[in-house]
Amino acid sequence: MAFTSLTYFVFLALTVGAVRVTRGVAREWVLLGASFVFYGFWDLRFVPVLLTLGAGTYLAGRRLAANRKDRAWLVFPVAAILAVLGIFKYSGMVVSLANWLLPDALRITLPSIILPLGISFYTFECVSYLLDVHQGSPGLTPFRRFLLFPAFFPHLIAGPILRVKEFGPQLDKLEAPSDAESVAGIDRILIGLLKKVLLANTLGTFVDQGFSAAKNSALDNWSLAFAFGLQIYFDFSAYTDIAIGSSRLVGLKLPENFNLPYHARNPSDFWNRWHITLSRWIRDYLFFPLNLKAGRRIWLRYVYLVEVMTLVGLWHGAGLGFILWGAWHGVLMVGHRVLESRIKRVPKAVARVAGLVGPAITFILVNAAWILFRAPTIGQSSSMLASMFSLKGLRPAFSVNDYMILAFAMGFYFVLEPWLKRIGERTGSAVAAERLVFWARPAFYGASLMLLFMFDRSNVAFIYFQF
């Protein structure tokens, strides 16, 4: 049940209706039931995976809550959860690597494994739950409440990745949203749908065609890098908008996942703005502990940083392109830290210029990295990057329309997106105060529906679903 399908909106309307007529425990059951209907709609075989992981994490969490010093209830369950993720997501890659190393007689054949949607997200939530409980956070009980934490349908497939401390307290005072809060949710959903249908899908056509071409000029490859950078942003942030909006309609708040990432001042700042909930997961559970371990050995911190970012790449997919993409970001962040430590000693004027140039360089390098992420083979990505950085061929070969789409998307991102972001983040009380806008809203809704109907391609999946 894709977020852009009519089925989803009928499902959402029914769920919202059920939430409004129930209260207390019944309301939690409604949300849990709806979440499993939502997940089962994709493929019924996914459901047992989520249930089993949920049950295992819940039991381990209870034991851990009872005795936080017993690390066995942390280490083994976390290892088991990661093993499940590994089996579903990385066994193919490991077997191909093994087969490449082994003689033909010892070749391993792997039965085909279906990757359950959202597994990368809910396994990380289960791990974070155990780590947080180990560190003193109260666990979620009873089981239905806990299960709602990873399974809650708006964030189940592609995040945001929740922490128990931000979700648990909301369940304690779960109430139907006010009308103004619901309106804010609908606004957010519509903004997300328009971004997905009008921008991400349109850019996608251009990007798909560009990446399938055998040979592009440097200018065209740069255009493709920026186009894909915008496509994946609009696609993923649209998903998040719809997730946050849907969640508001049932009275729960999800954390923000994006904060104008291409406005980042430097590579580290980019990760404070891009996929924020994954970044903080990585920061809190991997990077900080490793940093502590490295102590004053700065070089070791840098090594860990590159390693951690490489893992972030691997989390996105079992492919060398993703790994290199993560490593690229690690190297960029290390480079920035080294430069930053040096720049403290240069005159203020130079530092000021660096502050101005920094965002532009970050924008360029972050977008160049998308080539590794998107190109189907390493051979293609390396030849595209070589042409981009050698500036080989500056003649545009794509159609005028393609460049216009890119220019429009770029303009939309830099001009309209900051404004839409503010609209999307309003509180219910802010919406209630906007009386004029409230009365004019049907015109916006009607026009949006018209555009959505016109550009609807329900078969276009969100890019982040594959992770």
Q: What positions carry a catalytic annotation?
A: 316
Give the tokens for residue 326: 């993560």
> Residue 109 gets which letter from DSSP?
-
* Residue 442 found at the interface with other proteins (CB under 8 A): yes
Stretch that binds other proteins, among 92-100, 128-136, 304-312, 439-447 (CB under 8 A): 439-447
Query: 169-228: which residues touch other proteins (CB under 8 A)?
Result: 179, 182-183, 186, 208-210, 212-217, 220
Q: Using alpha carbons, list the distances in angstroms from residue 104 to 109, 111, 121.
A: 11, 18, 36
The Cα–Cα gap between 137 and 310 comes to 29
Stretch that binds other proteins, among 97-105, 160-168, 312-320, 398-406 (CB under 8 A): 398-406
Pick between residue 85 and residue 183 the one whose CB is nearest to other proteins: 183
Residues sharing a CB contact under 8 Å with residue 432, sequence separation 6 or more, in sequence order: 178, 179, 180, 438
The Cα–Cα gap between 177 and 20 comes to 8
Per CB under 8 A, the list member of 101, 349, 400, 415 interacting with other proteins is: 400
Compute the least distance from the CB of residue 7 to other proteins, in Å.
Answer: 5
* Residue 465 found at the interface with other proteins (CB under 8 A): no
Pick between residue 106 and residue 214 the one whose CB is nearest to other proteins: 214
Pick between residue 391 and residue 447 the one whose CB is nearest to other proteins: 447
* Residue 443 found at the interface with other proteins (CB under 8 A): yes
Per CB under 8 A, the list member of 7, 52, 341, 427 interacting with other proteins is: 7
- Tell me the one-letter amino acid at 5: S
Render 294-362 in DSSP notation, one character per residue. HTT-HHHHHHHHHHHHHHHHHHH-SSHHHHHHHHHHHHHHHHHHHHHHHHTTS-HHHHHHHHHHHHHHH
Cβ–Cβ contacts within 10 Å for residue 428, how many? 17
Q: Coil, helix or strand for 99?
A: helix
* Residue 390 found at the interface with other proteins (CB under 8 A): no
Compute the least distance from the CB of residue 242 to other proteins, in Å.
Answer: 17
Torsion of CA 98, 102, 105, 109, to 10 degrees: 0
Compute the least distance from the CB of residue 408 to other proteins, in Å.
Answer: 10
Compute the least distance from the CB of residue 442 to other proteins, in Å.
Answer: 3
Compute the least distance from the CB of residue 273 to other proteins, in Å.
Answer: 32
Stretch that binds other proteins, among 29-37, 280-288, 356-364, 389-397 (CB under 8 A): 389-397
Per CB under 8 A, the list member of 90, 412, 455, 465 interacting with other proteins is: 455
Angle between helices 179-194 and 417-424 (to 10 degrees): 150
Pick between residue 182 and residue 266 the one whose CB is nearest to other proteins: 182
The Cα–Cα gap between 136 and 99 comes to 44
Q: Which residues bind other proteins (CB under 8 A)?
A: 5-7, 10, 179, 182-183, 186, 208-210, 212-217, 220, 393, 395-400, 404, 439, 441-443, 445-447, 449-450, 453-456, 458-459
